Chain A
Amino acid sequence: DVKVTQSSRYLVKRTGEKVFLECVQDMDHENMFWYRQDPGLGLRLIYFSYDVKMKEKGDIPEGYSVSREKKERFSLILESASTNQTSMYLCASSLWSTEGGKNIQYFGAGTRLSVL
């Protein structure tokens, strides 16, 4: 079974703090993703990485950065946390593919972040 592990289930931080969210996958997947999920807005892509040290901005990258130094690990960084970054953060991984249907995304359990 694919396993995607997020380091924390719940996190409470103060405004202005630097926050690190860690994600590790054990299936040698090339692609890794960070999403945030808010009521009524669905999943929104923050950043995406298709290889070590490679990253692409998603739909809402402002206020976030990422790091992928090893294939299995993808970190999301909030440089200076703000209250509007209170959300559920979901990490996912998938195989790189040029064929449809081969690229199923697997999600971690999520990190519920509260910024006070």
Chain B
Amino acid sequence: RKEVEQDPGPFNVPEGATVAFNCTYSNSASQSFFWYRQDCRKEPKLLMSVYSSGNEDGRFTAQLNRASQYISLLIRDSKLSDSATYLCVVNPVYNFNKFYFGSGTKLNVKP
């Protein structure tokens, strides 16, 4: 079983829509969680860290559900520029210097 799993999509949504992705992780002791954004043929860039209490950054909200072992990313009022692949990243508790990546969820925002 993979450490981190994501629905590859693509999610095709119109501008202005709200869209949510989930990411499940297998190690219940995982401690740190991140969402990265990757544009086509570019490197991944940090979108946001995910805190236990949930956190928001503008139109983006990240949540952690430890009981069900998933994290989510909610994007409100989607923009064309949000089109990208979103990668979920997890640190195991025994090693904050090791990272497990999901394969990514592709989002296409259409006019």
- Per-residue CB proximity of A76-112 to B under 8 Å, as 1/0? 0000000000001010001011111111111111101
- Per-residue CB proximity of B1-27 to A under 8 Å, as 1/0? 000000010000000000000000000
Q: Report the separation of the CA atoms of residues A99 and B49 in the bound assembly, to the nearest whole angstrom.
A: 13
In the assembled complex, how far is the CB of residue B55 from the closest CB belonging to chain A, in whole angstroms?
11
Partner of B97 from the list A40, A42, A50 (CB cut-off 8 Å) is A50
Given A42-B101, A43-B101: A103 in contact with B91 (beta carbons within 8 A): yes
Partner of A90 from the list B8, B34, B43, B91 (CB cut-off 8 Å) is B43
* Chain B residues, Cβ within 8 Å of A112: 41
In the assembled complex, how far is the CB of residue B26 from the closest CB belonging to chain A, in whole angstroms?
15
* Chain B residues, Cβ within 8 Å of A107: 43-45
Cβ–Cβ contact B104 & A96, under 8 A = no
Cβ–Cβ contact B99 & A105, under 8 A = yes
Q: Report the separation of the CA atoms of residues A41 and B46 in the bound assembly, to the nearest whole angstrom.
A: 20
- How many residues from B make CB contacts under 8 Å with A? 24
| B:13-72 near A, CB below 8 Å | 31-32, 34, 41-46, 49, 51
* Chain A residues, Cβ within 8 Å of B101: 35, 42-43
* Chain A residues, Cβ within 8 Å of B96: 97-100, 102-103
In the assembled complex, how far is the CB of residue A58 from the closest CB belonging to chain B, in whole angstroms?
9
* Chain A residues, Cβ within 8 Å of B91: 100, 103
Partner of A101 from the list B51, B103, B104 (CB cut-off 8 Å) is B51
Residues of B whose CB lies within 8 Å of any CB of A are 8, 31-32, 34, 41-46, 49, 51, 87, 89, 91, 93, 96-99, 101-104
Residues of A whose CB lies within 8 Å of any CB of B are 31, 33, 35, 40-43, 45, 48, 50, 88, 90, 94, 96-110, 112
**13 more CB-based (< 8 A) A-B contacts, given A101-B51, A103-B91, A105-B89:** A41-B103, A42-B101, A43-B44, A50-B97, A90-B43, A100-B31, A101-B32, A101-B49, A104-B49, A105-B99, A106-B46, A107-B43, A110-B43
